[in-house]
Amino acid sequence: MKPEELFASVFEPALFEQVLKSGKQMTLHEGKPFLQLGDVVRNIPLVLEGKLKVTRMDEEGKEILLYYIHPGESCAMTFTCCMQQFPSEVQMTAEESTVLLSVPMKFMDEWLETYPTWKSFVMKSIRIRFNELLKTISQLAFHKLDERLVIYLKEKSRVSNSSLINISHEQIAQEMATSRVVISRLLKALENDGKLLLYRNQIKLLSGF
């Protein structure tokens, strides 16, 4: 998508111009990192197309999904940590082919003071992420894995606007920070319940879902 469609209405004209001037448009192909673990944050991404996956490592070096950054969004984590030049504890990679504007973070302070719309953009993305975080925590605290899987599948089907989900058990397991075997078993149980149908790399949600 063009930057105009996504940002022209949220940024004031002067800021929008600045964003275009200082942001470097780039395309990341699937699996390419934007920010690696330990990198000092120097740029913030404004996603135009595709999506960025934000993950962190747990103690044993396993990757755990934090959230996605969709077109029109930026990264709350980088806002909060980049101002103090700390090495990143998170990692961002392109989930699919992704187009973004990379804005040097040196403009952050200046824009925060100069442009009210920038400030509210930043605050809004932090607020949204924070709320999502609270939701996730309550999920972890109150729902069992099988319930979480159902929620996960509903969400996947909602965003893709289709009852057919293209994903492997392995991928699901990684995103939910569990093992493939467990996911396979839970899915099998759901299939036996007549809730869905399983294929290789594909899951078809049935009406009862």
Partner DNA sequence: ACATTAAGTGATT
Partner DNA sequence: AATCACTTAATGT
Binding characters for DNA, 145-164, by CB under 7 A (x = yes): xx------------------
Q: Decide: is 138 part of the binding site for DNA (CB under 7 A).
A: no
What is the nearest approach in angstroms of DNA to the Cβ of residue 93? 17
Nearer to DNA by Cβ, of 62 and 135: the residue is: 62
Nearer to DNA by Cβ, of 120 and 166: the residue is: 166
Question: Cβ of 153: how many Cβ atoms within 10 Å?
Answer: 21
What is the nearest approach in angstroms of DNA to the Cβ of residue 139? 12
Binds DNA (CB under 7 A): choice among 103, 187, 196, 205: 187
What is the nearest approach in angstroms of DNA to the Cβ of residue 176? 8
Nearer to DNA by Cβ, of 144 and 158: the residue is: 144
Nearer to DNA by Cβ, of 64 and 123: the residue is: 64
Whole-Å CA distances, 71 to 43, 62, 99, 100, 171:
17, 27, 9, 8, 22
Dihedral over Cα of 94, 68, 101, 166: its sign: positive
Whole-Å CA distances, 191 to 143, 174, 201, 206:
20, 21, 15, 9
Q: Decide: is 179 part of the binding site for DNA (CB under 7 A).
A: yes
Q: What is the dihedral of CA 155, 158, 162, 167, to 10 degrees?
A: -30
At residue 138, φ and ψ (nearest 5 deg) are: -70, -30
Under rule CB under 7 A, how many of the chain's residues touch DNA? 22
C-alpha–C-alpha distance, residues 13 and 49, integer Å: 22
Nearer to DNA by Cβ, of 70 and 204: the residue is: 204
Q: Decide: is 178 part of the binding site for DNA (CB under 7 A).
A: yes
Is the distance from CB of 47 to CB of 96 less than 8 angstroms? no
What is the nearest approach in angstroms of DNA to the Cβ of residue 145? 3
Residue 195 token pair: 């809730």
Query: What residues make contact with DNA under the rule CB under 7 A?
Result: 144-146, 168-170, 177-182, 184-188, 191, 198-201
